[in-house]
Structure 1
Amino acid sequence: MRRLLVIALFLLCTAEARAAEPPLWLREPALSPDGSRIAFRVRGRIWTVPAGGGEARALTPAGLHAETPLWSPDGRSLAFASDRSGALNLYSAPAEGGAAKRLTWYSRDERPMSVTPDGWAALFASWRLGDATRTFAPPGLSEHASQVYAVPLAGGRETLVLPNAALDARWDPEGRRLLYTSPNVEQRFRQHQVSRAVRQVWLYDAATGRHERLTDGTRESRDAVWLPGGEIAYLGEASGSLNVWRLSLTDRVPHQVTQFEDDGPVRFLSASRDGDLAFARDGQIYRLRRGTALPEPVPVTVAEATFPDEVPARISDFTDLAPSPSGHEVALVSLGEIYVASRDGKSVKRITRTAGEERGPAFSPDGRRLVYAAERDGHWGLYEARPAHADERGFAQATHLVERALPTPPGDAFLPTWSPDGRHLAYIHDRGAVHVLDPATGTDREVVPPGLFYPYRDASWWLSWSPDGRWLALPVQLDRGFTHNVAVVPADGSRPPRRVAPAGEGQSEAQWSPDGGMLIWRSEPEDLHSASGATEPQIFDPEGLEDREHRLSQGHVDVVQAVLMRDGVSLLVVEQSERPKGEGYAVTGTLRDLRQGTRRTLFSDLPCRRFSPVRLSRDQRTLSFLSANGFTEVDLTKGTSRHVRVEAEAGHDPAARLAAGFDQSWRLTRAKFLDPGMHGVDWEAVRSRYARFLPALADARDLAELLSEMAGELDASHTRAVLGPGVPPGEETASLGLFYDETYPGPGMRVAAILPAGPFDAGDTQLAPGDVITAIDGEAVPEEGGLRRLLRGAKDRRIEVAFAKPDGTERRERRVPVSLERERDLAFERWRRQRRDAVAARSCGRLGYVHVRAMNAASYRGTFAEVFGRFGRAEGLVVDVRFNGGGNLHNQLLTMLSGRPYLTFAPRSGPVQNDPRDRWSRPSAVLMNGASYSDASIFPQGYHDLGIGPLIGEPVAGTGTFVWWVSSPIVPRLTYGLPQVALYRTDGSRLENTDVLPDLAVPADPAAWAEGRDPQLDAAVDRLLGGTGGACQPASAEAAPR
């Protein structure tokens, strides 16, 4: 009996130990065709496990992220995606383990979807140019811009299967019909969306070219798989949460299979040949055997994987700098850590060593103390560091540092700013108020209450002390919205803030003149202004400031720094500009004499980091800013510059950094999400549910997916987390600006069309559609990877392109390939011109057409030029915002299109003109579709509400909010969306999550697109003309080869 008791206690302890183990984040289970095994992903690796559970075996190595395993029909091999070359490309490997074979070479992520029934190839989604005539969407990065390709599992030529977007594509066992999911501009892990634009399951018949929608409604359906007996299973949200549903292709009546309600959606559905199902939910894998009603969790044991406590690293890339008052040292920020370097960069001291973020370093006026903000213990606080030994005057060579937390009231505190005498710190409290702290005594007072300024980004704040320490300059918000004006407030808080020069334009970055008698600030768009203008030393007087305002700059400049020098008449202005050919950014400095109106260039075209701060030394002799691998100093007295290389130790705990990135995203969402009630979601409980999976993450891709799942709980747009490009230069795909004939089976790649303004759109070229490119720099185009493999690293480098004419004649030409971003721009312009020409043809030249590519200034300028230049005399206008990803342009567009004539100019001879000349007053119509996102959904709703004209096309999901895309300072390349501003119509309804409905519905038609037709565009023309397209022959939307 005693022995049995010991055994029982041992088993109990073992069970408790297992229960205490952190749960696994098991993702993407793929049931083998015979139903005996499951492949899945965890910790950035592909594993396999018996379908009944057990010890998992790793297929891919640690440190090389892999995802989306797909079984071959015979179960002997697996295809998957891996980013071991920077972007997610396709690979294959034996199911029992072995070396992986690379199948695709492309520097944009590609998504594996299924393996063909004969086991020959893997289907995958890729974001390329597609087909010259049959691809409908212009190139982009949303799901709508993808196409379906196939690549042999053994390696070989990639072929185009479908020219338009079809996600989760799977052939039936006979290879005749293809199940797929329609695209959605929203992230894959958003939950509970109710919209007519959500993903749905479609069926494509290869024999007839017909596309048929199998599911309908306002809830998402996706991830369909084939079952025996003419049935399919898919994931659907019709019950309120993603569950498994079954549908017979005979009666088309859906039946719910699983009944999960809480603790997360069902994800990643897969099926065996006999109809067993596997899926993931809440970090676990489930199996549902055919003929049974309840799914069973699959017990999986994965070999323990631990991160090292610290990964050694070196960094030389920084995001902020602050020179010391003496100029002998520079504080720098990189990956959320604070460093201090000597002026020559040879000595570097790491000030902080935490997983969280530190930012905003500021030296005290005597240079003995360094303060900064740090996110620790669940909130932002202020910290002060100093050398421990009094005889060590600097930080860079200090042997030991002492850090202390400064006392601040509960809540977040950041942006510490020293008073000139070093006795006080002004800072931002809880993203709404301004406080002043005495670090010595801990006395803290509020000088500006919350509610006077809304910081769209945390970096939106700035504070500036007057030289005598009696005043603070800071931004305040106008009643009319996000326009901020410069204000001043007594540093003791005795009076409320007062605007210096009230204006309807935004004002920022105010600085005091050395004598304290003048304020200088930037205004939109980038003009310089001052108030007071006196050059005699004086006490600052806030009365009548608006009467003493002066504009200091003429024209618009991209000013990154402007300082009034000590003589009171010289203004130092530093401007930033983009260098040609994507070579980064540069700064130019001029000294302007405000009395004489003259200017002198001090330095020009010095390379700098974009968004780098520009700091002037206390003696106004040296200017510093960030540049590649360190910083640059400019001696203003000599006009000379020197680059200082800085390399610092950056060892870190990778698991702690992922956890800190998770926590920062969660906290920032809690602080700034557009609805204080978090859309009814218990955000604390959500954090607990997802934080338990942190130990199972291996890398930033894992974290981005976890954050997307967590944010998806909010049922809001703009909530995805993404990992930015990490492709090394040698792997970046370059482009020759060509469409290729995807049906050509021979060696090389046959040209289908040449992009206007691309590398081969030149008068001296002999290349033409129908020619076959055979080699690059003497290397034959391989079957595996094709031209894209040979064009890696070839951007902006002259190469020799060999090609064969149809008669067999060989030619060679030297060309300079362009980037994929440039290729995308050229292809968009071709797409836009096709539709402009089609509208002109169908309307007999009576209508104009403009496509607004993005809601930004460049698009507005192009649209304005087209509307009032090319189409100034058109009878009507088609305004196309399909595939527009948003920005902030709705108000300008609505103003432009809502003109009403009130005056006519009739000269003695010449054309008659009407006012308003800068507003369209004739009929117009707006084209929209499911990829009209963000501000491109706000614009059509406003267009409808103002009664300007008809909306034509598809329902558009309500995604009307303003978002802050947060670039994580501690997890490289990670960016996540934070929607923080709700928009309401005049009737009180909110734009977010309210569909914009067309007046004339023209649904998506993949079959028409594959024929080169655009039914939505035709419908818009016909609606404006009130008929069927005029008396002339309608033109095809297909473009000529050149």
Structure 2
Amino acid sequence: MIDAARRCCHALGMKSLGNDRMKTIRWAGAGLLALASAAASASPQRLLQAPVMSATHLAFVSGGDIWVAPKAGGKAVRITTGIGIEQAPSFSPDGQTIAFTGEYDGNTDVFTVPVAGGVPRRMTFHPAVDAAVGWSPDGAKLIFRSNRDSASRYTRLWQVNASGGAATALPLPMAAAGMMAPDGKSIAYNPLEPGFSFNHTRYTAWGNYRGGLTGAVWITQLDGLKTRKVPQDGGADFSPVWLGGQVYFLSGRKGPVSVYRFDPASGQTTLVWQNRGPDIRSLSTDGKALVFDRLGTIFTLVPGEEPKAISIDLDGDMPDVRPRVANVGSEVRAAAISPTGLRVAVEAHGEIMTLPVKEGITRTITATAGTMERTPVWSPDGQSIAYFSDEGGLYALHVASQQGAGKAVKKYALAAEPAYYFNPKWSPDGKRIAMQDNRLNTWILELATGKLTAAGPPDEFGGFATSSSGMAWSPDSAWFVYARTSGNHFPVLMLHEVATGKTTQITDAMAMASEPAFDRDGKYLYFLASNNAGGTIYPLDMSSDVYQPTRSVWAIALNAGTPSPLAPELGDEKAPPPPPAPEKADAKKPAKPAAAPATPAIKIDLAGLTLDQIARRMVALPLPAADYRNLEAGKGGVLWLLKANEALDIDADEAPGASLIRWTLEGKKSETLFDKAQGFTLSADGNKLLVRTTGANASWLVADATKPIKPSDPDVKLKTEGLMARIDPAAEWAQMYREIWRVQRAYFYDPNFHGYDVNGAEKALSAWLPGIQSRGDLNYLFHEALTGFSIGHLRGGGGAIPAAKRVPGGLLGADYTSKDGRWCLARIHDGGTWTPDIKAPLARPGLDVKVGDCITAINGAEVRGDEDIQRHLEGTADSAVILTIARAGQPAREVTVVPIASEARLRNLTWIEDNRRRVDQLSGGKLGYVYLPNTGGGGFTSFNRYYFAQTDRQGMVIDDRFNGGGQAADYMIEVMNRRLISWWQPRYGRIDRTPSAAVLGPKVMLINEGSASGGDMLPWMFRDFKLGPLVGKRTWGGLVGIGGIPPLMDGGQLTSPSVGFFSPQGEWAVENIGVPPDVEVDQDPDKVMAGGDPQLEKAVALALDALAKNPPPQPKRPPFPLYGPDGPIRR
């Protein structure tokens, strides 16, 4: 059985909640119950979002579409129905036009539509995400948010004429949302998006957020860029709007998100209305009153009065709600091959189905819309299928006939608490099923009685620890072996005897043993073991990435009388087997039919032996050590295993996968059957393989277990394209709603859930389920439900949301300026040197394209300076186009280039190189510069690339800004913390040192609000190790661990913080706080737009000051030793 679910964690993250916040959570829960009662009285309660209003109308989002209703309420009319999501509406100042974000043409862009409805008009054409924000006060321009020219994870505000044309950026280095003042001379805005967010396809549910990305409100004059900053008081400030010369905004500084006002004249901040229910999500104004939404209800608010709920009726066909039959062939997440390989059972969209490998019919085993079934496995006789089902509220094991739905189903209760189960493995005699759960246990279920027994002790470590891997039944079903992590994090093999219930450890913890597999002949137990993988026991630690572990294949003789599998052959003739004893015939009785050969009992005498005695039964098989993974055994010493491939092509679009190898004990030969596998299973008879391929278009293959696999063979590929299932959205949404709560109960690191009343909240919020009219609405409800946990990394998204077909717009990797009615090149981005996989279309040698050149035509079509150049590059990504280039004083010429789909990495690399050169220039060559995009693979590579290339510098500036996190970067700290040990005097050349790969002078680290997760922990460690000062802004404040959560029924994703971080001093740290800088520096718009980087400049100044006071050590070589006849004269 191949299953996508895992029990390990992948990402970082904790601070305990104070008593006041604990009260807030329970109080908010009481508010939810009151709201639920109100919702129940009005059926159904819709989830209306992002309201805006004009003098006469309201516009809002529901079901992923834009709706318009009278301002006082009443019947709403849907004015957008495009495939994909429409959101973020805003009225033009005259109230006649609505701007919004849509996906009509295969990209996320800004559109406009008349308030009475009509054909949407596209206003932006860049391949990046362009999101509508609002209008200029005179209605001449639309304001939108885009990261089209951003160097990292931030956006800017742009404007485009309401009549169309090219977009230009507002003179703000960073901006996420805002509103121009009525005179158009200044803007109130959030420089960065707060650390919590929602849209229909993804969300971050973080209530009571107090980290660095709380969303400050700035007021900047657009002429001169003088900036005023609204004082903050702990909570997130966002959604600023102008009303009556004052700035109103939302803030969570005193409990639930409420409405505040800032008076620029007096500098005073005032609470306008204290919210005592769920958080308010958005705020807008028509210039006279405010409008906001809270848990799907729209309110208007005149300052000084109480909010007024607006009653709105929605009528429409609501197509996403209708039950239907749909193709679910792309949703296969687990598969199991039948005993002889004739059929495959799959999990798809929460249903269990079987389909033939060649000829035959497809059968639906479950047909239970609204119930989640997972992870099928075949019985040894091929007549039944077991799977996990949540039909009863908690996951249980069901056993059904392989003949299809409608047959009797046996149901077995498992745990009394929420848990998730994986890797079901049926015993060969069909009497038991072994399985594992997310609570680190390995279980054996006896089918005749329903008795559930622990196979032995559970894993000692969960979370980020290397998980145990593999379990196996002996051919006679009398013995069971599984791997468990021991006290040193190394997995060891445990042998369980079914008859006695005794469990014995059979490998010591001096090597990492995994993937046990019994020989089908019952002579040997095969397994994988590594003696050099110790450094990888905690993959969260970046230091684990330094090691390249290998594994060898081992065998244990199960009985003292069994010779070693590598015993030398004597070359003797083998004696024939003795003839069977003759059976006396009885003429009165008919002859008996031939009986099926009985499975011989396996004689295992390991239980009474010491580990040293067992070790003397072990032998390494003659396969070269490599990064082996799965291991399966057949008859007569035939093994199948995966060997990880090396990533030879760094420009490859997909992971290298692994090679599927078949090895035979007889002849000691190995053969590669397939080279792009990510997993496989062997059929019970050992004759067929089920293989999962790698890549974006991964497929399932069923093939002969003895021959190389040809994916092009039509008889090999499993035909999942025709899988159909009945979809009942309302039932599925209710199931997934229950699932998100069950996931948190099973995985959340704190069994008290930070004081959140999960039972009360689940019951209260379920009142909104009947009003859900789209999968995006369900994500909104999930967001509201999960907010109460008050923790970072709690996010989700996706699911069965209709998506527009993407059109890959092309980009040339350049900045443009309009000159004499043409678009001319202001900068060509090349990403610097030594990045072999970067693509910079205009920087290719031989093109002779320079800054100042103008593009007058693309593919022969004239390009004018008053139109958006991106209109001419739609659909051109990765396809050759012809540019007509004009250069002053020279005739026009044509060049052929290949546009790219995204400039994000190219612009980021250019920014990094600019920063490196700036640090070098400002410091006179004394300081180096290292940027860390994350603390995962990219950050590991970037650190090694830039740090060691600059160890000749006297000090270093480490840039952690916008670090996206990943791992705990202990490796970086260890390298930066290296101290001088010794000097070395060679005969020729300069004096060297140990460690040589070190920077011994001062170090300064840059941080900001976007330094997140592992990007939080890195500066925390930097300070803890006293490596130098931190400069910039307080970090994001998210330091919990996530990963290993089974997907939702329709493929939607969800996380659960399952690991919490606390300091050696016994304090929850960083989570929902962030790491504050030693020297706080804002990126003031006037300084940044003038070409500066205040944070970087301050870091350089501090490093140079420290360098002057405490320069790095220099060698003080003593005189060479001198020896005389009687011994040393000078040493």
The answer, yes or no, to whether TM exceeds 0.5 is yes
Equivalent in 446, 450, 470 of residue 438 of structure 1: 446
Task: Please give the per-residue CA displacement for 1:651-676, whole angstroms capped at 9, x wherever unaligned.
Answer: 31123223333322222122212222
Superposed CA deviations along residues 739-764 of structure 1, whole A, max 9, x for unmatched, are: 333x6683556453233441222221
Q: How do 1:26-105 residues align onto structure 2 when only pairs under 5 Å count?
A: 26-32=48-54, 34=55, 36-61=56-81, 64-105=84-125
- Which amino acid is 2:853 matched to? D
**1:754 touches 1:769 (CA, 8 Å); kept in 2?**
no
Instruction: Measure, in 1, the Cα distance between the counterparts of 2:925 and 2:492.
Output: 48
Alignment of 1:421-432 (within 5 A): 421-428=429-436, 431-432=439-440
Contact 1:42 1:696 (C-alpha < 8 Å) held by counterparts: no
Tell me the SS of whatever aligns to 1:755.
Answer: coil
Determine the C-alpha separation between the residues in 2 that align with 1:842 and 1:771: 31
Give how far 1:73 is off. Answer: 0.6
The answer to whether the 8 Å contact 1:321/1:626 transfers is: no
* Counterparts of 1:629 and 1:731, CA distance in 2: 22
User: Which of 637, 641, 645 is the matching residue for 2:719?
Assistant: 645
Partner residue in 1 for 2:883:
801
- Say which one has the larger Rg: 2
Aligned pair partner of 1:771 in 849, 853, 877: 853
The answer to whether structure 1 residue 331 and structure 2 residue 338 are counterparts is no
SS in 2 for 1:384: strand
Q: Give the 5 Å matches for 1:243-262.
A: 243-261=258-276
**Paired residue secondary structure (1:927):** strand
1:321: how far off?
A: 1.8
Q: Does 1:753 align with 2:828?
A: yes
CA contact (8 A) 2:129 2:146 kept: yes
Corresponding residue to 2:411 among 400, 405, 408? 405
Following the alignment from structure 1 to structure 2, what is the Cα–Cα distance between the partners of residues 52 and 603? 66
Residue 237 (structure 2) aligns with: 221
Distance 1:487 1:926 in 2: 47
Residues 943 and 972 in structure 2, CA contact (< 8 A), matched pair in contact too? no
| Cα deviation, residue 494, structure 1 | 3.4
> Which residue number corresponds to residue 342 of structure 1?
356
Q: What residue is the counterpart of 1:732 in the other structure? A: 808
Q: Indicate the residue corresponding to 1:294 in structure 2.
A: 306
Change (3 A) 1:490 1:28: same
Distance 1:842 1:203, change over 3 A: same
* 1:719 matched to 2:735: no
Distance 2:189 2:1029 in 1: 32
Does structure 1 conserve the Cα–Cα contact (< 8 Å) formed by 2:1032 and 2:1077?
Answer: yes
How far apart, in 2, do the equivalents of 1:458 and 1:258 lie? Answer: 50
Asked whether the 8 Å contact 1:958–1:995 carries over to 2, the reply is yes
Of 838, 844, 849, which aligns to 2:929? 849
Q: 1:561 aligns with which of 626, 630, 638?
A: 630
Q: 1:319 to 1:806 in 2, by over 3 A?
A: farther
Query: How far apart are 1:809 and its partner, in Å?
Result: 3.5
Distance in 2 separating the partners of 1:770 and 1:41: 44
8 A contact 1:564–1:571 mirrored in 2: yes
- Report the equivalent of 2:757: 682
Instruction: Check 1:860–1:16 CA distance in 2 against 1; reply closer, same or farther (3 A cut).
Output: closer
What SS does the aligned partner of 1:943 have? helix
Distance apart, 1:369 and its partner CA:
0.8
SS in structure 1 of the partner of residue 284 of structure 2 = strand
Matching residue of 1:12: none
The separation in 2 between residues aligned to 1:944 and 1:85, in whole angstroms, is 49
For residues 100-159 of structure 1, the C-alpha deviation after alignment (integer angstroms, 9 at most, x for no partner) is 2222235554322111111122211112224xxxxxxx234xxxx211112333433222
Cα distance change, pair 503–122 in 1 and its aligned pair in 2 (3 A): farther
Q: Residue 679 of structure 2 aligns to which amino acid in structure 1? A: P
Query: Aligned partners of 1:208, 1:591: CA distance in 2, in Å?
Result: 71
SS in 1 for 2:842: coil
Q: Which residue of 2 aligns with 1:527?
A: 550
Task: Specify whether residues 683 and 845 from structure 1 end up closer, same or farther in structure 2 by C-alpha distance, changes over 3 A only.
Answer: same
CA distance in 2 between partners of 1:655 and 1:105 (Å): 36
Residue pair 1:881, 1:928 contacting (<8 A) in 2 also: yes
Q: TM-score, normalised by structure 1?
A: 0.87
Q: 1:235 is aligned with what amino acid? A: L
Contact 1:744 / 1:750 at 8 angstroms: preserved in 2? no
The aligned counterpart of 1:25 is 47
2:206 aligned with 1:206 = no
Shift of 1:371: 0.6
| Alignment check: 8 A CA contact 1:425 1:437 kept | yes
Q: Is the 8 A contact 1:878 1:1020 kept in 2?
A: yes
2:583 matched to 1:517? Answer: no
The verdict on how the C-alpha distance between 1:800 and 1:295 changes in structure 2, with shifts beyond 3 A counting, is same
Q: Is the 8 A contact 1:358 1:373 kept in 2?
A: yes
Higher relative contact order (CA 8 A, sep 6+): 2
| TM-fit CA distance, 1:424 | 0.4
What is the aligned partner in structure 2 of residue 181 from structure 1? 190
Secondary structure of the corresponding residue to residue 613 of structure 1:
strand
**Offset of residue 215 of structure 1:** 2.9
Distance 1:486 1:802 in 2: 68
- Partners of 1:271 and 1:278 within 8 A in 2: yes
Separation in structure 1 between the aligned mates of residue 643 and residue 479 of structure 2, nearest angstrom: 26
Q: What residue ranges of structure 2 are gaps of 5+ in the alignment?
A: 1-36, 198-204, 534-547, 558-563, 566-601, 832-838, 1110-1131
Instruction: Tell me the distance in 2 between the aligned counterparts of 1:217 and 1:890.
Output: 31
**TM-score by structure 2 length?**
0.80
CA contact (8 A) 1:712 1:720 kept: no
Q: Note the alpha carbon deviations across 1:306-341, whole angstroms, 9 max, x for none.
A: 555522222332322211111111112223322211
Q: Does 1:657 align with 2:761?
A: no
CA distance in 2, matches of 1:323, 1:88: 42
Unaligned ranges ≥5, structure 1: 1-14, 131-137, 388-394, 1031-1042
Alignment of 1:202-601 (within 5 A): 202-228=218-244, 230-261=245-276, 263-273=277-287, 275-290=288-303, 292-303=304-315, 309-317=322-330, 318-344=332-358, 347-353=361-367, 354-387=369-402, 395=403, 401-411=407-417, 412=419, 414-415=421-422, 416-428=424-436, 431-448=439-456, 452-454=460-462, 462-479=470-487, 484-491=491-498, 494-496=501-503, 498=505, 500-503=507-510, 508-514=514-520, 515=522, 517-521=524-528, 524=533, 525=548, 527-534=550-557, 539=604, 541=606, 543-544=610-611, 545=614, 548=618, 550=620, 557=627, 559-564=628-633, 566-568=635-637, 572-575=641-644, 581-582=652-653, 587-592=658-663, 599-601=670-672
CA offsets, 1:173-209, max 9 Å, x none?
2211011013146222532122454111111111112
Matched, 1:975 2:1053: yes
Deviations 1:383-408 (A, max 9, x none): 11114xxxxxxx5xx68644332243
SS at match of 1:232: strand
Shift of 1:249: 0.9
The answer to which of 560-569 and 924-933 deviates more is: 560-569
Is residue 691 from structure 1 mapped to residue 766 from structure 2 by the alignment? yes
Over 3 Å counting, the alpha-carbon distance change for 1:409 and 1:219 in structure 2 is: closer
Q: Distance in 1 between matches of 2:127 and 2:359?
A: 35
2:1097 paired with 1:995:
no
Give the CA deviation at 1:305. 5.2
- Per the alignment, residue 1039 of structure 1 pairs with none
- 8 Å CA contact retained: 1:178, 1:203: yes
What is the aligned counterpart of 1:157 among 145, 151, 166? Answer: 166
Give the residue type in structure 1 aligned to 2:421.
F
Contact 1:528 1:552 in 2 (8 A): no
Question: Cα offset for 1:893?
Answer: 1.6
Structure 2: distance between partners of 1:1008 and 1:616 = 64
Distance 1:669 1:546, change over 3 A: farther
Matched letter for residue 311 of structure 1 = R
Give the residue type in structure 1 aligned to 2:775: A
Q: 1:947 to 1:685 in 2, by over 3 A?
A: same
Structure 2 vs 1, CA of residues 891 and 29 (structure 1 numbering), >3 Å: closer, same or farther? same
- Aligned partners of 2:209, 2:1038: CA distance in 1, in Å? 11
Gap change, CA 1:165 and 1:403, over 3 Å in 2: farther
Of all paired residues, the percent bearing the same amino acid is 24
Residue aligned with 1:541, SS: coil
**Cα separation, 2, equivalents of 1:540 and 1:44:** 65
Give the conservation status (yes or no) of the 8 Å contact 1:930–1:955.
yes
